[in-house]
Homo-oligomer: A and B are copies of this chain.
């Protein structure tokens, strides 16, 4: 381990494919990644740090465009911290909403599952099962 990471190491670490990493770079999520004399990329600690956040935000469905905007703020310097904070807080809010929605839907699905289980239980126990109310 030296002060940089090869593409393969990054692929392994984050689970992004080579192509996805190049795509992110093209899209401005990563600033120009350093190169070895051979032309091969050398990812640095700052890239890794940003990719960590990218992983987190992509996994929570932040679109690429917003990630690029965030990355640009990071590049613009420390004075953009308030704006970055706003971006993250807005995202956290949407995420909380999304989780709440998923949980509500999850409840509905479990009700449906229970309904089907009821149907099966009746089927198993009775020759001609009664009609069941679908909740």
A interface residues (Cβ-Cβ under 8 A, vs B): 49, 53, 56-57, 59-60, 78, 81-82, 84-85, 88-89, 91-92, 95-96, 98-99, 101-103, 105-106, 108-110, 112-113, 116-117, 119-120, 123, 134
Assuming A88-B113, A99-B99, what are 17 further A-B pairs, CB within 8 angstroms? A56-B109, A56-B112, A57-B109, A59-B101, A59-B105, A60-B105, A60-B109, A78-B119, A81-B120, A85-B116, A85-B117, A85-B120, A88-B112, A95-B106, A99-B102, A99-B103, A102-B102
Q: Lowest 9 A-B CB distances belong to which pairs? A: A85-B116, A60-B105, A56-B108, A88-B113, A56-B105, A99-B102, A92-B109, A59-B105, A81-B119
